[in-house]
Amino acid sequence: MNLIIDIGNTVAKLAVFQQDELLLKVAVQNDFVSQKISELFEEFSEIEKIGVSNVSATKIDLSDKVSKKAKIVVLSGSTPLPFKNLYATPATLGNDRKALIAAATKFYPAKHVLVIDAGTCITYDFKNKEEEYLGGGISPGLKMRFLALNTFTANLPLTEAAEAPALIGNTTVSSIQSGVVNGVLLEIDGIMERYAAQYGDMVTIITGGDATFLSINLKNGIFANSNFLLEGLNYILEFNIDQ
């Protein structure tokens, strides 16, 4: 049984896997990560392996009971990966992007895969059917775009996404919603089309906090998977334990 710990800037996600089956997923503030780990070890005494991805300054305090019982893999720039990384600056590649491509490698071997992570930023990551990670793109996410319009102008209000906004907004708020949401949808559709034109048949996965909202409004075929990053971290853990 595996425990996956994904620590972001303020919030950590913890997941318990039995092989590939996700048994439990919880989110806690970073200050409570160590406490939650201890609680999960009490609840799931079969945990034997821990995978950690930490992009914050949070330090995990593992009790002696935990550290003596479990094999621990902390994802870093030197951690072996289950794909060939052709990124020109591998040291700058985020743990989240590594995990997403690891999941793509595990679940879609010998296929071209584009993974779109729609969160604070929208990231695009691509691996080819030879299991080579080529790179991708990064652009502002929905919330960041709304916030930027409010922050960098004098009169535009802060608003949020509305489902399937009209093309033509007839108020300032609806015009912002139209510009931001339709702009993101057209961006994603356009990038998918560009990849498909260059590589032919491919699988496209969308994940992240805005994945469900965006996926139902995209015109191209796309698979939404909210657990793709955690599944990728679990695969990296297994890959390293098996080395």
At 28, which amino acid appears?
V
Q: Which of 96, 201, 210, 242 is catalytic?
A: 96
Tell me: is residue 94 an annotated ligand-binding position.
Answer: yes
Whether 96 is catalytic is yes
Helix-then-strand count for the chain, H and E: 8, 11
Tell me: is residue 189 an annotated ligand-binding position.
Answer: no
Tell me: is residue 169 an annotated ligand-binding position.
Answer: no
Tell me: is residue 125 an annotated ligand-binding position.
Answer: no
Q: Give the ranges where 91-199 is alpha helix by DSSP (H).
A: 95-107, 142-151, 172-177, 183-199
d(CA 17, CA 3): 6
Tell me: is residue 96 an annotated ligand-binding position.
Answer: yes
Tell me: is residue 195 an annotated ligand-binding position.
Answer: no
What angle do the packed helices 183-199 and 142-151 form, to 10 degrees?
Answer: 130
d(CA 93, CA 103): 16
Tell me: is residue 128 an annotated ligand-binding position.
Answer: no
Binding residues for ATP: 6-13, 120
Tell me which residues are annotated as active site: 96
Binding residues for substrate: 87, 94-97, 172
Binding residues: 6-13, 87, 94-97, 117, 120, 172
Binding residues for K(+): 117
